[in-house]
Chains A and B, each alone.
Chain A
Amino acid sequence: MVLKRNQAEDLLRHYFKLNHFYDEQWETIESLLKGQRILLIQRTGFGKSLCYQFPATLFDGTTVIFSPLIALMRDQVKQLKSLGISTECINSEQTKEENKAILKQAEQNRIKILYIAPERQESPEWLESVREIKLSMIVIDEAHCISVWGHDFRPAFRKIIDLVKLLPPNFPVLATTATATESAAQDIMQQMGGNVKYLRGNLLRENFRLNVVRVSSEDDKLAFLAQYIPKMEGTGIIYTGTRVNTEVYSNFLRCQGIDAINYNAGFNPETRRYIEEGLLNNRWKCVVATNALGMGIDKPDLRFIIHTQIPESPIHYYQEIGRGGRDGRGTPIILLYNPEDRELPEHFIENSRPPLKHYQRVIGELKNKSLGKWDLMRKTNLSRTRIEVIVADLIDQGLVKKFLDGRSKRYEYQFNAFPFDNRVFERLREFKLRELEKMIEYAEMDKCRMFYLCDYLEDKKADNCHKCDNCRGKKLNYTTTAYWQQRVSNFRNNYFPEIELVPESQQGKSLLERKSKLVNGVAFSYYGFSSVGSTIHRCKYESGDDFPDFLLKGALKAYQSYFKGKKFDLIIYVPSTESGDLVKNFAKKASAALKIPISHGLIKIRNTKPQKVFQNSILKRDNVKDAFSYTNPGEIAGKNILLIDDICDSKATIREIGSLMTKLGVNKIAPLVIAKTIGGDIISGKDVQLHSRKAAEETTKRKPFAEVRKSYPKAYEKWTKEDDELLVRGFRQGESIAELANYFQRKEGSIRSRLRKLMGTEIMVNVPQGSLKKDTYFEDEEQIYQALKKWRLQKAKESGLPAYCVLPNATLENITRAKPSSLCDLLDIKGLGEKTIKKFGEEIVEVISRLEK
């Protein structure tokens, strides 16, 4: 396609209401029109989208844009539609029905620009449609996700690359990102199949005022924030290293009168969207978040970015601060740095890959039999995240392939596969440790910090910035004053995490209306906070001594502060598997102090294993299912019960007991525990660090189904309304019938009919009979064909006509393939008119259904 720049800009004005291209934009566009492959690296806000949106409108066919950011897709679709360009997106937030309708349109070449989340590539709908779509160009947004050397590698991008490699050489492909080091860029280009044009602009913004503030404790950080945030102009983001700290920091700031809210990947999509929108509208002074916040936040005037934890590498850091000051105004960028903080990123790096034996465990199971994800979780006792990481690596190495079995995904071991090779992980680990050193160097050096980052990003930059702390000759140290130390201590002593058990859907209802009588409770502390976790651990597994008094005092305080005036009639406690009488003794002391009678009626009727040995929620649930009983049910009917335990991890135990108590007719049951974990898993003693933001990221890229389920306490019992909600939600998220059936441990048929009942026509459209039938292939298609032929012969004899006049062979073949099970199904079959169906329909269906039996 030959188009001069001035001609193109005429079109630009007409269609996009913009006057000129930037030079780099035009260079990109010109190359795409020539059918080249391009990697474009430009800072956020540069205008990368136009580089593909414009040529997309010129091509005959559909441009497909792979983008991991649903929020961004939504915005761009809206914007392009308002310009009159037919644009749609396929993502997990839309129903299957909506996605399908869009794909149908694309097949008819009625969509110019189609956004799709990389994960969606594996959906059967997409697989069926994509070859029918006339593709004109492929765009990979956030292309750094392709590379393991980048800061945010995502396995779902692999499939795009696999496709790009196979496309004809003159097919235009554009990869864009705002964040890639030189080595990641080289890797991306190589993966795109070589022969890629490389365009790279300057990434850093000159308006940043970079600062590093040395501190020597967590308390220092809290105090610093409380003291300085009120002095900051506008709205900003505070990044923490862990999910638990988003909660702690924001609570602390609120206690100090600062309008703060927390955000992390554990939140459901609605909440996340609410906070993202609130941030855009300056609803709070600051949002305290893990790095789950930011990608796709397009706010020009974030006035400050503060990190309370050193990131893993300068590229991570660049990515996170890059969200500040897009309007070009001076923006303070602060890193609170305690040299000890390196432990957290080190921990991530060391644990970013599961140990070799876990890989072997998975390989062993798959060699035996191909399994789906849930089955693998059950069989290997590994967490969902682990399984996902392992399976992605095995697929990458060609040991395992994912295949669709009907509509459910299974992993299949490949005969002939090369043995598993974990040396690449070793190289990756070393690389990441080197990157961390560079970040530490940034924090500790005394030269211009801007210069250092530019150099790292290979930006062209000659001079010092004159704005950073080092250029200004200021060494920034912060130590808490006595006044602030006191405020921090007060907070620490009076802040108790809530244990949430009542699902959202039930929160508005009164206790009477609710089916489950289990209500929210409280913990003294987080497991990872100060010495609480390690103390519990020591008592349980080492000394065997009773829990020390400070834990009791803490728990009592939590009780007072949380339950305030509420009355309880009876204390019960969770009978222990392995800690002997620790919990019992603890409960006795609590009972004495609170003057609430204690009962020893709750007992275990079968042995359970300690919950912590189970790495995923399915097994934890199975472990405690029907494990408890109550010896004297009469004494608890109608009572308000306080349930005491040491650690609340997956909540599965509390829920199991809650449901038992509900059955026995209690009025209310609430938990009081010593420590609550965040993120599910406990690893001995080792603090907050476990609940890594990485893990947080991984588990909730797309709100995992298990998480959704976890928030429904009653879902583990008989079929409930919550199960219904969950089922519909899972279905809308694109889980297959088979997978849902597996999850709920029900037959596919009953899941299907439940869905049909719940969703009425929607499901009829989503899961039409015809496509469901495809799951149940007949043993032998030829058998059907022969049976039909036999039937036809008989008809022919009866009517005295030649056989082909009854029905031609081609039609018999069509019927064979379609395997109709009702008259309606016959309507879709080529060669069968209404007349024929009236005449023979019943018989044809009969012939086939006879075979099916």
Chain B
Amino acid sequence: MKRLILYLAALTSLAVSAADITLAENGTAKAVIVIPEKARPIVQFAARELSDHLKAMTGAEFPVGVKPGPDVNIYLGFGNANSFATDEYVISARGTRIDIYGKDTEKPVDLFDYYYDNPDKGTLRGVYNFLDSLGIRWLAPGKDGVSIPECKNLRIPEQEIRFKPYFSYRKNSDGYDFMTVHPDARGYVDSVKEVYLWGIRNHAAVRYSVVECHSERHLKLFENPEWLAHPEAQQLMKNGKRNPHYSCWTDPLTKEIWRRAANGYFSGKTPQECGFLNLKGYLGSKWPFPFFKPDEFMIDPMDHYTGNDGRCYCERCEEFRKQHPCKDDTEIIWRVIADIAKEIGEKYPGKYISTLIYPPKMQIPQTVEIPKNVRVRISLRGPSNLIFPHKIARDIESLQQWGKYFKPEDFQVSSFQCTCGFGGFLPGMLDSYPHLIARYIQTVKPYCAGIFVETLNLTHTARNLDVYIFLRLMWNPERDVEKELKEYFRLYYGPAAAPAREMFRKFEDNWIRIEREILSEKETAIGLTGESAEYFRKKIWSQVYDTAEMKEIESLMQKILKLSPEGTVYAKRARLLQKYLVQWMQDERSFVMEKEERRQQLKLSVPKAAGSAPSEEEWTKAPEYKLISSQKMGPGLKAAGSFRLLASDDMLFIRAELTEPKMDESKTDPGHLSGNHDVWKDNCVELFFYAEKSKKFWQVIVNDNNVWSSQTRGRVLNRWEQMAGLQVKTERGEGKWIAEITIPLNALETDGTDLRFNFTRERNVKGVAQECSTWSPLAMSGGWHSPDNYGTLIFEVKKH
């Protein structure tokens, strides 16, 4: 807190000069806000925003009215902005007059509309930039996310600013579903409107153009009787069936339907007048989403999925492909798009056709000329490709190639920051990388109108920083990311800025490691769940966010909590960070890792035997491993047992001593010979081996009568197979039996570092219930056959 005040004092004193304009003195307003007599709703809203923020800053009431006051007057929405571009604004401050204006919508205040669709917010933009220049920041959604410096004497320098952002398109993925997708949403806001407001204040652009993917599905042809009556216009799938959800793009009807739709749309007709009886309008449009941008109509085929690549295999399409060879259906589909765009361009100047660069049309068309009135959106991975020089080079080349065909303003990038969140792929981890975002913005800057980024994670706390930085730098790419970050942590975490910043620095460094060292291994699987997800989670939790790293994160978290004074907004923010990031990471991690970490603690050291057969002395010195009951919550063992291990260069020796007060009552079938498949029903012990790298599994069963059988596993199934070179010697004695087992190490296919092992016993004697015991406490009865429950053999280092 102290640092904050010092900083502000410095800022204020710097600003004092002869040409300064005084807005407040000793907590009293020295200015009024003046709006036109019939001010548009958005100007009234801008005045309220200005007055509220100034009050919070100075403690003074700044009246809003139509009449100027005796001191300074802040005029909102008076200038002539007819020629202004979207987002362009003026701040002019001279003497006692301050003017802020830009192009303003006539529509009423509706935060959904302002956030998503209404681009004309010039005066409001100006107001937010004015407040920004006073040090006010909207660091997170909601009231607690606002940072307003206290300043009872507020002066500003005279200034003349006319600003237009470099990028016309700057869009994050926050939206209507904020409250339902984030468990911590209510930690920030009470209603989604506050999220819209956060976006507006940080200058998120509206849904610009090429809003959606796959507009074909929104035409709902599959319900359209005309379409259904013409199966030949529908996709012929590889299996010989027609699919009414997809089209044959060489069929004249397909083209005719899209032509009619586009013409109808721009001529102001309803879908019904064009033969689409089943379509309903979206927002103010007569047509369904995504057909609601006045100057744009989207033609884009359905998405594909496993089982349907979306392409038509009718004779005509196949013939077309022969004549116009192309890797995908670019030539086929662009032919339709280009023809319709040309017609629209001639009939309705200024109107556009939009589409995606997306399968099955990823290529640049060679046989079709792309008309000028086409807009596209190209889908790229985004900032994380900067980690791999070859990937970012490929993306840039793609931008350059496609960029030749479009004006930058008609060409936008869609990118993704959702590796962890998508499909719950890596729960508890975060792909946070503000530095990469900054570099990425600079990288794509020469080529396009802007970026949409899908920032997705399971909590908002895990993504707030990245969204904020993205919006700050997209509004003004000249901003320095280091300065922005420093400021963010200083303002958001206050006295705990340093440990918070360190924590997020860790997250970014760790993410780069995860991408580089782990995810790059199996690119095809990312985002898909199942085996791979499990594999990656374990790997990341054990190699990057290992116990040591988690301890450091926890210790930083404790520092943050300790430095955040109770009762302040910093403490609130710190608690969100703890609950929805650090705690959440810890929970998710322990969920995946707890058992594996316990397993990794289970180690059996195997001393080296000098000769090819261990001496008695060596056996006595070798550590003894005791068996425990393998019945969960069962009674203690009636008959104890233990074993010892030794190894030579190529043999593993096991000697087990098994207490047996009723040796004569053994249930072992004397007729069993080695290799018998029922040995496990005898009075016996079982040895389990699993080599992690080769995945070789062996189970060796030895009864008390010198008989043994073994099985090993193929990819899936076990098969009985006597392990070559294995030797067994058992001896029944007074009150116990002893088993000596010698195992050739090469049969186990281990490299000596990856051998998992467990030893179990099935005591089968007459008159006593079966008693099972195990060495590994994880391998209780019911869990013997899973290597997840075995310990690891640690071979004494070979002496060379």
Q: Is B one of A's binding partners? A: no
Identify the B interface with A (CB < 8 A).
none
